[in-house]
Structure 1
Amino acid sequence: MRRALAAAAVLALAVSGCGGGGKEPAANGPVEITIWHGQEDASAKSIEKLVAQFNQSHPDIKVDTESGGATADGMLPKITAALTSDAYPDIAYLYGSWAPNIARNPKTADLTEFVQDPAIKWQDFWASEREAITVNGKVIGFPAVVDNMVVLYNKKVLAKAGLKPPGPDWTWDDFRAMAKQSTDAKAGVFGATWPISGGEEAVWGLWPMVWQAGGDILTPDHKKAAFNSPQGQQALDRLRGMAVDDKSLYLDSSPAEKGQKLFESGRLAMFMSGPWVLPDLQAAKVDYGVSPLPGTNGNHETISGPDNWVVFQHDERRVKAAATFLAWLTSAEQQLVWMSDTGSLPIRESITKLSGYQDYLKKYPGIDVISANLANAKRVRPPTTRYPRVSAFVAEGIAQALLGKSDAKTALDEAAKKADAALAVPGS
């Protein structure tokens, strides 16, 4: 596991002069740390702006920002490779589901004692966020983002198809019917889209469908796949029918998420996504609406993905500097800036009490619906180090089914065999 803060100094000699980790400062000089933020577009600009503000107000610490050479989706393999050498950052943006995996590395810091400082106001973070950043009782960083999945709909595209916006009690059958009716092949308009690029985004939308029907991703002991249950097969079969039979799904094979561009340009009726896309929709002047996910028997359960700023050890000064920076970055005042720039949801309860919060709600129409939808986020992805591999196998199966190369049962059964083999490896 990870070493305590006081023990981090033993790594100091190993990191001098390393590109990814920066240079070890003189004992009486400013502490230099590097953050791999993995952000793009408005989010990248916002984090860089905030870092500049921190550097100006904290002369004893200098934070350098880098993308890490990867987007957030590709950060885990990038960090894993970097940690085999000394060219790793002090802070990296990592999905919450990756915490069990990254926490096993001895270079991951332990901030448990640091966050107990009353000034941090640790309990102000939502419980799901604190859970996502804590592994076996050890805090490995700070919460970065909390979100959930909703359906964004293009009002003009639905109206042109003679459809009303989805109501509060809509179902997945309604979703399929609306997608089919709003598809116009000649005009290049699709009802909805689904990623098939092989990343987590391909499976993220499947899990709520499975959960709503009473299924799950893995067995309770996390030793076997459960996603190839009748509930999983029914969910994927519905999507396959939309893609193969109805031809209402645009299959997005681009890591750059072309589906979002289609939605912005009026060629997509419905788009399953989250609060992070609202700034783009605002910039594109899309006339959009927001709805919770379709439901199953009245259950509109969604999925939430708390993401983390994870801290890595170089020496004690740098770990403390990284923690100090993150305490500042995740404070209510700085987070309101981040939220206003990016459309992200509040990661602290106290943010909703700030005077500028109402202006934030007005800036992003529909953000109030997404915030309220956190109540429908009842489960998290399995906290196992093997989850990324399981996700990749399922993503491959989804692609095979939606491309018409496999039926839903075969695709999920094949993914389950691979997942079971991965889960059987000791230490998972």
Structure 2
Amino acid sequence: MRRALAVAAVLALAATGCGAGGQKQQASGPVELTIWHGQEDASAKSIEKLVARFNQSHPDIKVKTESGGVTADGMLPKITAALTSAAYPDIAYLYGSWAPNVARNPKTADLTELVKDPAVKWDDFWAGEREAVTINGKVIGFPAIVDNMVVLYNKKVLQKAGVKPPGPDWTWDDFRTMAKQATDAEAGVFGATWPISGGEEAVWGLWPMVWQAGGDILTPDHKKAVFNSEQGRQALDRLRAMAVDDKSLYLDSSPAEKGQKLFESGRLGMFLSGPWVLPDLQAAKVDYGVSPLPGTNGNHETISGPDNWVVFEHDQRRVKAAATFLTWLTAAEQQLVWMTDTGSLPIRESITQLPGYKDYLAKYHGIEVISGNLANAKRVRPPTTRYPRVSAFVAEAVAQTLLGKSDAKTALDEAAKKADAALAVPGS
């Protein structure tokens, strides 16, 4: 899954660099920029195509694309190492949850004034995206991707088990019941799956369950853990009952890759995921449906993980050129090309008004449900540099509980003690 976190690199990033050094300012000629995009397959081809179009239409700026030598999952440690020298890019694709750590590095550019340019149309980005790229009032880049979690269901698996597809008002109790009914141990079919790989993907689906019930991850000042509240315990208890009692959850340690393969092969009824898997499902010719997450008391809040194009400073001329390029790249017309190529969601509200938006919806079955589900993405994960460690502690609690090695309360209380200790460290 795309949410794996490099915890050690996160903690190291803030300490790298002691000034906005880098290469000398280019006095004349086109401004040369390097972007590490970390994309693969169709996404890599699309970004390279768009960059080529930009270079043709903007002779005063030349953008060079590189993968950075890693995928998006590995971009943070790559950037961490690069920022200790002058060999860092002007722009890099980084997960939004890394933003608090990235922002602390002195080589991270401050675009706060530049995004006020009317040409940027900053307010056209969804509020959650702007929040994810703004740390303590400092804008460190542009939104790159927005997603959200939904439930994908295999129509054939549910139909064979006599299970009706989820309705608009379904609940987590319905989810448990449907998963149990769809499970066929003799045939190797599971009702649903949950990652226990120890990464962010293990908690990615837990937070909406907590939020829906009125709970939270940390206190508002980010100094104490509150995920071990009654809401957190009930959420994890429900998953434990599915895994241990019902045996309807396939516990995926891959991380999250085996679950998708089971879904594609007709051995998994429901799969919590996002828009990034739709191209794979269509290529595998899976007969699937898409639904918002189950709700609690009518609240179907989901989780979103906006990612960012972060800008790093070599000199102000290059920073301004990077802002010009990202303004162009994130404009509605270019984004519709990217979305059509990759199946990504609209990062700007205005994209949905473009004539070609209907063709995009027609290309990716179910994408209209996921796009509409952005309205249920009401908050982001805590913007603290210690969040990766908090997440890792909770991920371990999830794994221990679902494997039947602990009860939910004990596991979450232990994770909360560790999280509180990490949050108490000065500078967190």
Structure-2-length-normalised TM-score: 0.91
Contact 1:42–1:279 (8 Å) recurs in 2:
no
Letter in 2 for 1:299: N
In 2: Cα distance, 1:403 partner to 1:85 partner: 44
For 1:302, the equivalent position in structure 2 comes to 302
In 2: Cα distance, 1:266 partner to 1:185 partner: 13
Contact 1:25–1:32 (8 Å) recurs in 2:
no
For 1:319, the equivalent position in structure 2 comes to 319
Letter in 2 for 1:216: D
For 1:209, the equivalent position in structure 2 comes to 209
For 1:15, the equivalent position in structure 2 comes to 22
For 2:93, the equivalent position in structure 1 comes to 93
In 2: Cα distance, 1:236 partner to 1:82 partner: 39
Contact 2:171–2:294 (8 Å) recurs in 1:
yes
For 2:15, the equivalent position in structure 1 comes to none
* SS of residue paired to 2:173: helix
In 2: Cα distance, 1:44 partner to 1:176 partner: 38
Once the two structures are superposed, the pairs formed by residues 30-179 of structure 1 within 5 Å of their partners are: 30-179=30-179
Letter in 2 for 1:55: N
In 2: Cα distance, 1:83 partner to 1:244 partner: 46
* SS of residue paired to 1:233: helix
For 2:10, the equivalent position in structure 1 comes to none
Shift of 1:355: 0.6
In 2: Cα distance, 1:220 partner to 1:125 partner: 25
Contact 2:128–2:379 (8 Å) recurs in 1:
no
* SS of residue paired to 2:77: helix
- Per-residue CA distance 1:296-331 (angstroms, 9 max, x = gap): 122111112221111011122322222122111101
In 1: Cα distance, 2:216 partner to 2:25 partner: 49
In 2: Cα distance, 1:152 partner to 1:417 partner: 35
In 1: Cα distance, 2:103 partner to 2:250 partner: 37
Letter in 2 for 1:250: Y
Shift of 1:88: 2.2
For 1:241, the equivalent position in structure 2 comes to 241
In 1: Cα distance, 2:260 partner to 2:47 partner: 22
In 2: Cα distance, 1:244 partner to 1:420 partner: 29
In 2: Cα distance, 1:260 partner to 1:53 partner: 35
Shift of 1:256: 6.5
For 2:194, the equivalent position in structure 1 comes to 194
For 1:335, the equivalent position in structure 2 comes to 335
Moved more, 51-60 or 385-394: 51-60
Shift of 1:242: 1.6
Shift of 1:57: 2.9
Contact 1:393–1:419 (8 Å) recurs in 2:
yes
Contact 2:196–2:251 (8 Å) recurs in 1:
yes
Shift of 1:25: 8.2
In 2: Cα distance, 1:107 partner to 1:280 partner: 37
For 1:7, the equivalent position in structure 2 comes to none
> Unaligned 5+ residue runs, structure 2?
1-18
For 2:231, the equivalent position in structure 1 comes to 231
Shift of 1:186: 2.7
In 2: Cα distance, 1:241 partner to 1:67 partner: 42
Change over 3 Å in CA distance of 1:77–1:402 after alignment to 2? farther
> Unaligned 5+ residue runs, structure 1?
1-9, 17-23
The alignment-based identity, stated in percent, is 88
* SS of residue paired to 1:185: coil
Shift of 1:358: 0.8
Structure-1-length-normalised TM-score: 0.91
In 2: Cα distance, 1:422 partner to 1:125 partner: 33
For 2:373, the equivalent position in structure 1 comes to 373
In 2: Cα distance, 1:169 partner to 1:158 partner: 18
* SS of residue paired to 1:27: coil
